[in-house]
Amino acid sequence: MNFLIISVGITVLSGLLSIRSWYKPSIKLNAVSPVTITLDRDVEVIDEFNTNLAKENARHEAIRNTGNKEIFEIDKTAQEESFTKLKFAIKVVRNTILNIETEPDPINPKVDIEAQNFLLKISDDKFNELLLREDVKSALDNVEFYKNIQIGEVNFTPEIARDLKKLNDVELKYFFAELNELRNQIQYQETIKKQLSKSFFEEIKLTNYEAIFREAFLVQKKLLDLGIVRGLPKQKVVENIRILFPNIPAKDLSFVGKLINVTTLPNLQIDWQKVYELETEAINNVKPILTQLKSGSVLTKKGEEVSEQNYFYLKDLNMLSPQTDWSEIKENFIIITILTLLIIVVSFLRKNRSFAVNRVAMIILVPVAVSIIVAAIAIWGVDKLPLAPIATISILLTILYSPIMGIVCVNVVCFFLVKTIDMNFWQILPQYVGAIAGVFFTRNVHQREDLTNAGTKIAIIQVSVFLLTLMLAVEDFKVTTVLIVAALYAIGAVASGFISVASLPYLESGLKLITPFKLAELSNPSQALLKKLKMEAPGTYEHSINVSRLSEEAGNALNLNTELIRVGLLYHDVGKTHAPDYFIENNLGKPNPHNTLGDPIKSAEIIIAHVAEGIRLARKQNLPAAIIDFIPMHQGTTITNYFYYKAVEKLGEKNVNKELFRYPGPRPNTKETGVAMIADSAEAALRSIKDIADEIKAEEMIRKIIYSRSDEGELSESGLTRADLEQITKSFLKVWRSQNHERVKYPEKMNEFSEDSVIPS
């Protein structure tokens, strides 16, 4: 199982950290190249850059040198509209000269001409409001409606609107459409007058204006037949008229020119189909330009922008999609394998850490998970890599394993970021420093909120390091770019804290790992097993608390995981809830059930069963393996001496199988469980010594228990040395002394003290 986890982890991690070796997006024009491409032979390729340049020049020349080739066509619609405009303008000029006021004809005989004329004169906004209403008739019945429509001081009244209400919906719609057309004609008439100016009318009436009108029609037809280009200046139009019609008097020419400029629209438009045909013909006549490329020519460099010319060379050689670099992947696989094996050997040799599948999985799983995020960001864009939450590795491994392991794994991942994912030393430096700082921020945390705070601190460090490296390594930079990159570094660091907080519970439960947070949660008296122990076996619960207190001093002195020892001892006797009355601490003055039972072998079986029952209850509650270890290991393979000697006394030594009275084990295999075994044995013995004057007796008792367990071989696998055992003796004695110090003997009557008396503590 270990081998499978290690193999899969190494393979996945190698693939993720080698992403730029196998995920190679196609080379794009003016984009950063993911690889370096060097030619290994001489080749002849089409110089597409210069060929395209030649084609572009040919295309321009084809249009520039069209000569008599027709690339324009006449717009018939513009021609007809120009005739209509000129005819209307001449009518306006004639009526103005003759001072003829034309009244519009009635649109509908049902509507009084006064109402029609009133509607012709109202403002455009009010008319359009009326024109666009779908409920005109209902509006006409509303008195408030009339207040909004007026000409000067004259309002639109119900009397004026009376005739409109006689029309049906179709007639009303047609009426307003015709009315709108009339309004447009009137407005156009005013526009013509304004464009021609007062002086025009005053001067033309002194001439033979009918002849000028005839000349205007002839000139417009001639100009439109030749074609008027859009954007042609008005003065140029007059000059063209003078050239085309040299017989028109200069004075008449001025009037004709004004009429033409006011009414004539450009009617010459480009025939794009002909233009396309000319351009295509010119482009097809250009022959490809060839060039020679020598062996060793570098067409792209990894991390540098691809030039337009080299891009076309690569396209011609069919090399725009780089091949997977298997040699680099193989090299990375070998490096990661060696580093992983070294990490595993180091973790195996650590005496106070058990070498288990869950620890191997955790050491590999965290870098793999972070590398997945890094790979996704690299695919998204190399410039987004400051977002990578590298500090997640140091935070989680520091909490779940050790600060050293966090530092080692951060170094491994950062090495490959520089080696294979296009990040240089200055780019990775802020994340590297932030991740290392994360080890120190989280090595002594006790609350999950501390992880988010650590993320904020790491963000400050990463941004600070980035700005410092910017000043050292970059001469010219844009402030906006700096702010964006700094924000990415900050977001990545803060994300590290949140990812750690979010993933930690799953790692704890899925891999059954111990963290300071998990230990704090398990030590809460509201935990189901502790509540069960307190309710059903209160004496055992009190014993567990006393043993955990006793062991804390020794754990601190030996620099062990004191929290683990304390919590492990809170649960070490939960199995006694299966038959609490059979354990003396829960008897509370009641008759001893063992006396009633009268069978030492059966009594020993009940006592020993609390180990198996404790393991069952702990597993049912999904307690971590490190906590469950305290349940069998606090007894190890010791003998229940009391019942064993009772059986010998009753049946004779030869008739008693000593193994029936032995706990199943295993023996303590860590210093933490070794301390727990000694504390469990010493607690009851020390509790029996109440007089502080018996300190020598207490010390002798502790040493006797320690030497007894040592001589029996129970501590042989724990890793505890003689120096450790001596320190445990001093620590236990210190705790006993603090619990049994001399106390003041208070008088029976409190009134024997004066008000000024001080009671010593």
Contacts of 467 (CB under 8 A, 6+ apart): 482, 486
d(CA 721, CA 379): 54
Instruction: Evaluate whether 409 touches 436 at the Cβ level (below 8 Å).
Output: no
Query: Which amino acid is present at 733?
Result: L
Q: Is residue 683 part of a domain?
A: yes
Q: Is residue 626 part of a domain?
A: yes
Report CA torsion sign: 446, 447, 451, 457. negative
Distances in whole angstroms, Cα of residue 306 to Cα of each of 19, 26, 33, 207, 309: 21, 12, 6, 74, 9
What's the structural domain count of the chain?
2
Instruction: Evaluate whether 681 touches 660 at the Cβ level (below 8 Å).
Output: no
CATH number for 656: 1.10.3210
* Nearest C-alpha neighbor of 34 from the set 42, 43, 26, 45: 26
Instruction: Evaluate whether 632 touches 610 at the Cβ level (below 8 Å).
Output: no
Q: Is residue 8 part of a domain?
A: no
**Average pLDDT by consecutive 10-residue portion of the chain (761 residues)?**
65 70 68 73 79 82 62 79 87 85 77 77 74 68 60 63 75 81 83 86 85 86 81 78 82 85 81 76 84 81 77 75 69 77 67 52 78 80 82 87 85 80 76 91 79 88 89 75 89 90 80 78 88 90 89 89 90 91 81 84 91 93 88 92 88 87 90 91 76 75 88 89 90 82 49 37 30
Q: What are phi and psi of 695, to 5 degrees?
A: -60, -40
Strand partners of residue 300: 37
Q: Is residue 62 part of a domain?
A: no
Residue 352: the pLDDT is 45
Specify whether 390 is located in the same domain as 421. yes
Tokens for 259, please give them: 């009429």
Q: What is the pLDDT of residues 288-300, one digit of tens each?
A: 888 888 877 888 8
Q: Is residue 750 part of a domain?
A: no
d(CA 491, CA 442): 19
Q: What are phi and psi of 697, to 5 degrees?
A: -65, -40
Specify whether 463 is located in the same domain as 536. no
Instruction: Evaluate whether 86 touches 218 at the Cβ level (below 8 Å).
Output: no
d(CA 53, CA 289): 10
d(CA 111, CA 104): 13
d(CA 422, CA 140): 76
Specify whether 538 is located in the same domain as 656. yes
Rg over alpha carbons for the chain, rounded to the nearest Å, is: 50
Specify whether 506 is located in the same domain as 598. no
Q: Is residue 643 part of a domain?
A: yes
Specify whether 470 is located in the same domain as 618. no
Strands 268-270, 72-74: pairing is antiparallel
Tell me which residue range forms the domain holding 506: 325-513
Specify whether 426 is located in the same domain as 360. yes
How many C-beta atoms lie closer than 10 Å to residue 714's C-beta? 23
* Nearest C-alpha neighbor of 479 from the set 461, 464, 489, 467: 467
Tokens for 49, please give them: 């850059």
Tokens for 569, please give them: 């001892």
* 428, burial (CB in 10 Å: exposed 0-12, middle 13-18, buried 19+): buried
Specify whether 451 is located in the same domain as 548. no
Tokens for 623, please give them: 């307690």
Residue 487: the pLDDT is 92
Mark which of 469, 494, 513 sits at the end of a domain: 513
Specify whether 479 is located in the same domain as 426. yes
Instruction: Evaluate whether 698 touches 639 at the Cβ level (below 8 Å).
Output: no
Residue 23: the pLDDT is 61
Q: Which H/E stretch holds residue 145?
A: helix 143-146
Strand partners of residue 32: 305
Specify whether 347 is located in the same domain as 476. yes
Specify whether 599 is located in the same domain as 711. yes
Q: Is residue 362 part of a domain?
A: yes
Q: Which H/E stretch holds residue 703?
A: helix 695-711
Strand partners of residue 292: 44
Mark which of 487, 513, 539 sits at the end of a domain: 513
Instruction: Evaluate whether 252 touches 212 at the Cβ level (below 8 Å).
Output: yes
Q: How many CA atoms lie within 13 A of 511 on its CB side?
A: 23
Q: What is the pLDDT of residues 99-142, one digit of tens each?
A: 887 777 788 887 777 777 777 777 777 777 777 766 666 666 66
d(CA 388, CA 496): 9
Mark which of 481, 513, 545 sits at the end of a domain: 513
Specify whether 476 is located in the same domain as 610. no
* Nearest C-alpha neighbor of 119 from the set 92, 88, 153, 157: 157
Q: Is residue 401 part of a domain?
A: yes
How many C-beta atoms lie closer than 10 Å to residue 425's C-beta? 11
Helices (H), strands (E): how many in the chain?
A: 35, 8
Specify whether 440 is located in the same domain as 579. no
Tokens for 79, please give them: 């021609």
Local structure of residue 324 (DSSP, 8 states): P
Residue 298: the pLDDT is 82
Residue 523: the pLDDT is 87
